Structure 1
Amino acid sequence: MQIVDAQVHAWVSGDSTGHHRRAPITRDVLVDEMVRAGVNRVLLVPPLWDPEGNAYSLALAQAEPERFAVMGLLPAGVEDPAAAIETWREQPGMLAVRFLFNTPERLAPLLEGRYERVWPVAQESGLVVALHVPGALEEADAIARRFPRLRLIVDHLGVPRGASGPAAFDHLPALLALARHPNVHVKAAGVGDYALDPWPFRSIEPPLRQIFDAFGAQRVVWGSDLSRLHHPYRQCVTHFSETLAWLSDADRAAVMGGNLCRLLGWNQGGSEERGRAA
């Protein structure tokens, strides 16, 4: 089974305030972590704190396209987001785009309609869009309803930043309601950090089971959010690949990489051994 991580921040400079890991995750650091955790591929998600923006992640993806690809961020202050999205995938290694609406300041432009021209352009171009919208899942619902061919991923299962224990899933009814839209996937990134108990994080199995029952294994993608993890990378992998008893072998293969590669059109022809080699 090929393991593909749907979210890792890689960077060489900048202060990772708010994440557990403060030292930069460079290419060599990441590859070492991947080998030890048994991860074959990584979708790089450039962090806001990196002054180079998408550049470092794109350089890694262009050098090693079977190991890395990028879900990029629009540069701050871009004048015409729709025009930028129209040619987004012309950048080698750039396979998707992520929008951060996880603070009142970042959510305001969405509520003001500044992205209205983005969604139809993304839909027509086939671009995969990830939305980080904790506390405003109704906005994801509205976008999915209006643009049924737009492929959407809801980040972090909609969990608010810093939430843990039962409160992490207070929003669960709103998340489950999104399952009625066939174009919506959910990203389960580092969900063990929401648990109050150690691996295998049995306390969060009930909400996870509800999410799988609603969306089906074919619409869940696993990720680590490595820089935020408070537990070992390998535990994050095996939480989904080994301990969720309701998943079949085919389900595990889909969640742990197949779904993401299918969504992104990321060629799955490379060998696992080549993906593991440093």
Structure 2
Amino acid sequence: MNTTRRSFLATSAALTGCQLLPGHRGGDWIDAHVHVWTPDVQKYPLARGFAVSDMQPPSFTPEQLFAHCRPEGVRRIVLIQMSYYQTDNSYMLDMMRTHPGVFSGVAIVDEKAEGVAETMRSLVRQGVRGFRIHAGSSRNLSDWLGSPGMATLWKTAAELKVNVCPLINPDTLPLIDKMCEWYPDTSVVVDHFARLGMAGPPKAEDLRNLLRLARHAKTHVKASAFYALGSKKPPYLDLAPLVRQVRDAFGPQRVMWASDCPFQVDHGHNYHNSIALIRDRLDFLSEQDKTWMLRGTAEKVFFSAAAV
């Protein structure tokens, strides 16, 4: 098969996943943060400590996702490994293979396990472009981030030219800042504005700590999870100052929009209002800003070649 034909088939496959509706304004957008799972727990067992009743909604498959993203012009998606499966990334990887060209992936690995670097390499060969880190039940955040396993994870991510993706609360920002100093070659993507505004108005110190990360050239922020931040009410215009400050500090080339589905389509919220905040409702965002935040940044970070 020649290169031209391979490129044509790859492009065609990508278009089948989230094809734009005819006449849609703009488009070719990327949703940088979505979780999927299946009710088929026989084929894809839940991790220890999770029950079927924990899966809310009971099902959120790619097909269910496409019903929300297609009408809004979203053609590619970054899948984030769901906690229900912990380090068994099988379902996410299978969905990536089933929909070639549509999905990138962020996996979960056990940084304390032997051979974590090779596990990461194997996952990157399968299309993974990031690794989620989350303190979980860790009581000492400093020990967690400063552990030998975490050092291996950050170093290996840099070697593979993929990303470390912290799901953190604002109190962890100074530690992430320190890790960025120690591992300046590691690309970092902070989820959901580091959850500023999830538990009340953002503290000035927390906002300064988030914006301080902008001095690290390989650090990015997801403008996402609007349903959970600020007033938690659409159209989410109360989040405009936060979006603007992050855009100003990092530049649009290091900010990416994401929905955090399926939680964004829970009661009282919908997919349209999430993407519309960035695409339609903030007059301080230029068309170039929107193009970066809705496609360019995520494309560069999660859909580029890795070093494997």
The aligned counterpart of 1:101 is 135
Question: CA distance change for structure 1 residues 16 and 227 in 2, over 3 Å: closer, same or farther?
Answer: farther
For 1:175 and 1:31, the matched residues in 2 are separated by 32
What is the correspondence of 1:82-231 to structure 2 with a 5 Å cutoff?
82-91=117-126, 93-101=127-135, 103-105=137-139, 107=141, 108-134=143-169, 135-159=171-195, 163-167=198-202, 171-196=206-231, 198-229=233-264, 230=266, 231=269
Deviations 1:69-127 (A, max 9, x none): 21111158633323322443112x32222112255359453244431122222212212
Question: CA distance change for structure 1 residues 102 and 182 in 2, over 3 Å: closer, same or farther?
Answer: farther
Of the structure 1 ranges 232-241 and 151-160, higher mean CA displacement relative to structure 2 is found in 151-160
Question: CA distance change for structure 1 residues 192 and 22 in 2, over 3 Å: closer, same or farther?
Answer: closer
Question: CA distance change for structure 1 residues 242 and 149 in 2, over 3 Å: closer, same or farther?
Answer: same
Q: Secondary structure at the match of 1:6?
A: strand
TM-score by length of 2: 0.77
**Residue 2 of structure 1, CA deviation:** 1.6
Deviations 1:180-225 (A, max 9, x none): 1111001112224313163322222122211111111111011111
For 1:25 and 1:52, the matched residues in 2 are separated by 19
For 2:176 and 2:225, the matched residues in 1 are separated by 21
- Contact 1:53 1:75 (C-alpha < 8 Å) held by counterparts: no
The aligned counterpart of 1:258 is 296
- Contact 1:42 1:69 (C-alpha < 8 Å) held by counterparts: yes
Question: CA distance change for structure 1 residues 83 and 51 in 2, over 3 Å: closer, same or farther?
Answer: closer
- Contact 2:134 2:166 (C-alpha < 8 Å) held by counterparts: yes
**Residue 234 of structure 1, CA deviation:** 1.0
The aligned counterpart of 1:239 is 277
- Contact 1:6 1:222 (C-alpha < 8 Å) held by counterparts: yes
For 1:46 and 1:16, the matched residues in 2 are separated by 17
For 1:76 and 1:145, the matched residues in 2 are separated by 20
Percent identity reads 26
Say yes or no: does 1:248 pair with 2:286.
yes
- Contact 1:88 1:94 (C-alpha < 8 Å) held by counterparts: yes
- Contact 2:223 2:243 (C-alpha < 8 Å) held by counterparts: no
- Contact 1:12 1:26 (C-alpha < 8 Å) held by counterparts: yes
For 2:152 and 2:87, the matched residues in 1 are separated by 26
- Contact 1:190 1:223 (C-alpha < 8 Å) held by counterparts: yes
What is the correspondence of 1:20-31 to structure 2 with a 5 Å cutoff?
21-31=56-66
The aligned counterpart of 1:275 is none
Can you give the 5+ residue segments of structure 1 that lack an aligned partner in the other structure?
268-278
Letter in 2 for 1:138: P
The aligned counterpart of 1:9 is 35
Of the structure 1 ranges 41-50 and 200-209, higher mean CA displacement relative to structure 2 is found in 200-209
Of the structure 1 ranges 79-88 and 175-184, higher mean CA displacement relative to structure 2 is found in 79-88
Of the structure 1 ranges 204-213 and 175-184, higher mean CA displacement relative to structure 2 is found in 204-213
For 1:155 and 1:17, the matched residues in 2 are separated by 26
Can you give the 5+ residue segments of structure 2 that lack an aligned partner in the other structure?
1-26, 40-45
Count of matched residue positions in the alignment of Structure 1 and Structure 2: 264
**Residue 137 of structure 1, CA deviation:** 1.0
The aligned counterpart of 1:50 is 85
The aligned counterpart of 1:70 is 105
The aligned counterpart of 2:20 is none
Q: How large is the Cα RMSD of the aligned pairs? A: 2.7
The structure whose Rg is larger is 2
